[in-house]
Amino acid sequence: MSYLILVRHGQSVWNLEKKFTGWVDVNLTENGKSEAKKAGELIKQEKIEVNLYYSSFQLRAKNTLKIIQEELQDFKEVKNAWELNERHYGALTGLNKEEMKKKLGEEKVHQFRRSWDQRPDPLDKKNPYHPLNIETYKEVPPEKIPDTESLKDTYERVIKFYKKEIENKTTENILISAHGNSIRALCKYLFNLNDNEISKLEIPTGNPLLIDLENNKISNCKYLDQERAKDLLVF
């Protein structure tokens, strides 16, 4: 048996401010750092030796993982992959979700956030929030950088990376620090969720999802912080 641990980063500054964040590189709040510390403590209690660590390119995911590793006193090298980044919210990036509900209506905003294949309008390439203008992404080939994404787009890049880099490591215990939508994409693939089911899946911040794997098939899964667990729609 091996383990896959999925951790959505702790609360970020823009989570707190209820902004569409996407690829903008914002850091953790103090509460987010506390969530990451608690995540590390919970993983430590499971007495699982993590063999491989993965993170997105984004500061909030990288710093969540850094805090977890400090709690585990395990400083193995981390593989950072832009393919594990959050979904790009296009022209919604930086806008307040509550204000957009008033402007566009709750249903429309819900569609943008939870639909499978609906993309917001593209973000202008001259906008300072566009990834082309953010130092973090200078290593990413420009043709790979999106102007906007649906969850389906996010799924395709995340799962392509997962199949190539992670899925075949069947004997390793792996921890991935990523984002709400990149983890939703992974859960859609791992749990074989349909397009309707994935729209209902919510991923809590800083709460490790421990997945038991036998021959690359899920035998069990649970959130380690049961007080903040969300419905997995399976098991």
pLDDT for res 235: 46
Determine phi and psi for 82, rounding to 5 degrees: -65, -25
Beta bridge partners of 178: 8
Determine phi and psi for 5, rounding to 5 degrees: -115, 120
Any residues with CB less than 8 A from the CB of 217 and at least 6 apart, and which? Answer: none
Q: What is the pLDDT of residues 70-96, one digit of tens each?
A: 999 999 999 999 999 999 999 999 999
Task: Tell me if residue 116 falls in helix, strand or coil.
Answer: coil
pLDDT for res 36: 98
Q: What is the pLDDT of residues 167-194, one digit of tens each?
A: 999 899 999 999 999 999 999 999 999 9
Q: What is the pLDDT of residues 126-177, one digit of tens each?
A: 999 999 999 999 999 999 999 999 999 999 999 999 999 999 998 999 999 9
Beta bridge partners of 218: 213
| The one catalytic residue among 9, 88, 130, 179 | 9
CA-based Rg of the chain, rounded to a whole angstrom?
A: 17
Q: Which helix (H) or strand (E) holds 176?
A: strand 174-178
| Percent of the chain surpassing pLDDT 70 | 98
pLDDT for res 51: 98
Clarify whether 86 is annotated catalytic.
yes
pLDDT for res 158: 98
Q: What is the pLDDT of residues 94-123, one digit of tens each?
A: 999 999 888 878 887 777 777 899 999 999
234: confidence class by pLDDT, cuts 50, 70, 90: low
| The one catalytic residue among 83, 86, 130, 179 | 86
C-alpha–C-alpha distance, residues 9 and 26, integer Å: 11
Any residues with CB less than 8 A from the CB of 112 and at least 6 apart, and which? Answer: 89, 92, 118, 120
Q: From residue 44, how far is each of 19, 71, 80, 152 by CA, in Å?
A: 32, 8, 22, 34
Mean pLDDT of the chain: 94
Determine phi and psi for 192, rounding to 5 degrees: 55, 50
Domains of the chain by start residue, with CATH: 2-228 (3.40.50.1240)
End-to-end C-alpha distance for the chain, whole angstroms:
18
C-alpha–C-alpha distance, residues 190 and 86, integer Å: 18
* Bridge pairing between strands 209-214 and 217-223: antiparallel
233: confidence class by pLDDT, cuts 50, 70, 90: low
